[in-house]
C-alpha cells in the first residue's frame, strides 16, 4: 500500500525514457519568492516587418532574398551549426581527448508569412501545413546516406534564446545520433526486451487509466504532464497508436496532431496571459536504416516559467551538479493547465 503523500513530502521520480531520476520537493512551494523577476516587454508585432530576415520578400543576412511565400517556407540556415561538407576525420591523440567531424544540415522553417502569428494564434489548417512540412523534411533529410538523425524543434521567445521573433522552427539533421536520443533508444529497447511492450504505449495506458496528468486529448493524440517532468509546466504529446516517427502518420492523424499542438500552445498562452516561451521538439526514431520498433513518436515541451509570467525556473546548483529538482508536482501542473479558461473559437 502506498503511504507516502506525493503532494506533501519530498521524493524522487524515475524517468523511464532517459533512466534518470528527479527530486520532487512540493513542500518548497510554501516559501516566498525573492529571486529574479523577469521584465517582459509588451509584444505587439506587425503582420509584416520590413526589417525581419524571415518575412516574405525580405533580404536575409546572407544577402539571399526570401520568396513571397504564402504558407510554410524552408531554407538552409545561413549560419548553421552543422555543415554538409565537413571533412571526415577522427581525432584521438591519446585515447582520452577524442573528437570527430560531424557533417549535417541545419534548416529553418518559417511557420507562415505572418510575422505576428505564433502556433497558438494560427488556425489548425495552417498548423497542418507545418506538420506536413515536418513529415516531408524528415523523409527528404532522413534518406540521405550521411544523415542518421533528424531533430525538429522550436525555441519560442527571447527567454529561450530565439534570435528572431518571426515564428519559426528548426531542423538539425546529422550523421551521429545525439545523446538524448541514444538514452531514449536504449531505455525504450530495454523495456521492449523486458516487458514485450512499447515503453510509451505502456505509459500512455496508465495515464489514460488515471486521468490525472492529461491536459488535452483527441481521437489520435494525448497531451499530458509527464510523471517525471522536470520543468514546472512541462508537457509531452503522444500518439494513441504506435508510430516510430512522423512519416507513418495517416492524414487524419496529421490533422489531429495539428489540433493538439494548437490546444497545448493556447493553454500555455492562457496560463499567465502572455505569449508563453518554451523549447519544444519532436523525438522520433533515428534514420540510420536499422529497425527501431521500440521507438514511440513523442513531442516534448520545456517551458521556463515558474510561478508567473515574470518568475523563471533556472537549472542551477544542485540540478547542475546532482540531478533535476522541481517543487510543483506533475499532478499539480496538470491541474493548473486543465483549469486555464480557453478562448472561444
Task: Spell out the residues 6+ positions from residue 30 whose beta carbon is closer than 8 angstroms to its own.
Answer: none
- Smallest CA-to-CA distance from 148 within 177, 170, 191 is with 177
Q: State the Cα–Cα distance between residues 113 and 55, nearest whole angstrom.
A: 6
- What is the Cα–Cα distance from 335 to 30, expressed in whole angstroms? 18
pLDDT tens by residue, 36-88: 555 555 567 899 999 999 999 999 989 999 999 999 999 999 999 999 988 77
Each residue's pLDDT tens digit, 75-127: 999 999 999 988 777 777 777 888 889 999 999 999 999 999 999 999 999 99
Q: How many Å is the maximal CA-CA distance in the chain?
A: 66
Q: What pLDDT is recorded for position 34?
A: 45
Flag residues of the chain having pLDDT under 50.
Answer: 1, 33-35
Q: In the prediction, which pLDDT does 158 show?
A: 83
Distance CA 304, CA 306 (A): 6
DSSP code, position 246? G
Residue 156's φ and ψ, nearest 5 degrees, are -105, 125
For residue 214, report the phi and psi dihedrals to the nearest 5 degrees: -80, 135
Q: Name residue, grid cell 499532478.
A: 331
This prediction has a pTM of 0.94
- Within 10 Å of residue 128's Cβ, how many Cβ atoms? 20
Distances (CA, A) of 98 to 95, 101, 115, 148: 7, 11, 43, 21
CA–CA gap between residue 275 and residue 267 (Å, rounded): 10
CA distance 35 to 306: 11
What the block records as the C-alpha cell of 325 is: 529538482
Cβ distance 117 to 176 under 8 Å?
Answer: no
The residues carrying an active-site annotation are: 168
User: What does the domain layout of the chain look like in residue ranges?
Assistant: 14-338
What CATH number was assigned to the domain covering residues 14-338? 3.30.428.10
The three cell numbers locating residue 156: 519560442
Up-side HSE of residue 32: CA atoms within 13 Å toward CB? Answer: 1
Q: How many CA atoms lie within 13 A of 71 on its CB side?
A: 10
Amino acid at each position: 500500500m502506498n503511504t507516502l503523500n506525493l503532494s506533501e513530502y519530498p521524493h524522487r521520480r524515475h524517468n523511464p525514457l532517459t533512466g534518470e531520476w528527479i527530486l520532487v520537493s512540493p513542500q518548497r512551494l510554501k516559501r516566498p519568492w525573492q529571486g529574479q523577476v523577469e521584465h517582459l516587454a509588451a509584444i505587439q508585432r506587425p503582420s509584416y516587418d520590413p526589417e525581419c530576415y524571415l518575412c516574405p520578400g525580405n533580404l536575409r543576412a546572407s544577402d539571399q532574398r526570401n520568396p513571397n511565400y504564402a504558407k510554410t517556407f524552408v531554407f538552409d540556415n545561413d549560419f548553421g551549426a552543422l555543415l554538409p561538407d565537413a571533412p571526415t576525420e577522427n581525432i584521438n591523440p591519446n585515447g582520452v581527448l577524442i573528437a570527430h567531424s560531424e557533417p549535417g544540415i541545419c534548416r529553418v522553417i518559417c511557420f507562415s508569412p505572418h510575422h505576428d502569428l505564433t502556433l497558438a494564434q494560427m488556425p489548425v489548417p495552417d498548423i497542418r501545413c507545418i506538420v506536413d512540412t515536418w513529415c516531408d523534411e524528415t523523409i527528404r533529410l532522413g534518406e540521405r546516406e550521411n544523415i542518421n538523425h533528424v531533430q525538429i524543434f522550436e525555441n519560442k521567445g527571447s527567454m529561450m534564446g530565439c534570435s528572431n521573433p518571426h515564428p519559426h522552427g528548426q531542423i538539425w539533421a546529422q550523421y551521429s545520433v545525439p545523446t538524448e536520443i541514444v538514452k531514449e533508444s536504449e531505455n525504450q529497447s530495454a523495456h521492449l526486451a523486458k516487458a514485450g511492450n512499447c515503453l510509451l504505449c505502456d505509459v500512455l495506458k496508465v495515464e489514460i487509466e488515471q486521468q490525472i496528468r492529461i491536459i488535452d486529448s483527441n481521437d489520435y493524440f494525448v497531451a499530458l504532464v509527464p510523471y517525471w517532468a522536470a520543468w514546472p509546466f512541462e508537457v509531452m504529446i503522444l500518439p494513441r497508436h504506435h508510430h516510430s516517427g512522423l512519416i507513418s502518420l495517416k492524414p487524419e492523424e496529421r490533422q489531429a496532431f495539428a489540433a493538439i499542438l494548437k490546444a497545448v500552445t493556447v493553454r500555455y498562452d492562457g496560463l499567465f496571459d502572455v505569449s508563453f516561451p518554451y523549447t519544444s521538439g519532436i523525438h522520433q526514431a533515428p534514420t540510420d536504416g536499422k529497425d527501431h520498433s521500440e521507438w514511440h513518436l513523442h513531442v516534448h515541451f520545456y517551458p521556463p516559467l515558474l510561478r508567473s509570467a515574470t518568475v523563471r525556473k533556472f537549472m542551477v546548483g544542485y540540478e547542475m551538479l546532482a540531478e533535476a529538482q522541481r517543487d510543483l508536482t506533475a499532478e499539480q501542473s496538470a491541474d493548473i493547465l486543465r483549469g486555464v479558461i480557453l478562448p472561444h473559437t
